[in-house]
Amino acid sequence: MRLKFVAPLLPTLVDKPPEGDAWIHEVKFDGYRFQMIIDQYGTRIYTRRGLDWTAKYRDIVAASAKLGAEKAIIDGEIIVLNQAGLSDFSELRKAITRRQHDLYFVAFDLLHLNGHDLRDMALEERREILESMIPPNIRIQFSQALPGDAKAIYHLVDKGGLEGMVSKRRDSKYRSGRSTAWLKIKSYEINEYDLLGVEREPGKPAFALMADRATGQYVGSAFINSRGAIRDRLRKRVQEHAGPAPKGMKRPATQWVKPGLVGRVKYLRGEEDLRHASLQDFREE
């Protein structure tokens, strides 16, 4: 029987890692989530939404023969490493079309093996089987659990410039869809962006609209704390620097400003645009 794609289990985003021995912790890789299916029809690789992208990953498909499985469904992520040895999302998109030899499939869960549905087994047991299947030095690697206390792990992940960590209940079953049995804890970065304007809607928090300093491209909005000196200073500066809307941007609730205000923004690492972002401060250039 031909194995079918299984909708993935999706972790819930939280602010801090869970405490206690009931959890294992892994690095959150900065790549694309994929599912590898092996059966008598060959190896197929599916995106998170179930699209067949097998043709894009020839080297990883070839490496799957070394797993020694007649049938398997493996959950994982395809990544590429940068010169610092960290997974790099911007480099990944280039590697998919130009540098297949730089791609790795990092496996972190096993849903099916040789005719057996493993989703009702405890996560820790599924991972033990998965780890035993993967030989060294191939394009498919096992996502090792990180040893130590959750807070210490998060500190090291953050300082090391990684996107974040994923904490999973050791005894959890695999259930498709969003779950609190898996938690993702992301690291934050702080960077400077050009401030385009401030969006204020009745009954809602105010947001600063930000643009990339090099390209001028809009990258998202950052929450403005409703209390404190930053809010008051910013309101005054926005009134003094009022300007026209950037070309192509239509947001009626926004007070636009002339170029020259630069915002310092804290945001989630590893995202293409600003997410969970907050304005820390701003300056005039």
* 177-186 β-sheet, strand order: 9-13, 177-186, 164-169, 23-28
Which amino acid belongs to residue 110? L
Catalytic residue among 28, 168, 184, 186: 28
From first CA to last CA, the distance across the chain in angstroms is 65
Closest CA to 172 of 17, 10, 33: 10
Hey, what are 73's tokens?
A: 């469904």
Cα dihedral 134/137/138/140 (nearest 10) = 50
Q: How many helices (H) and strands (E) does the chain have?
A: 5, 16
Which amino acid belongs to residue 151? K
Give 190's strand partners: 266
Residue 71 designated active-site: no
Alpha-carbon span 60 to 140, nearest angstrom: 7
Give the catalytic positions in this structure: 28
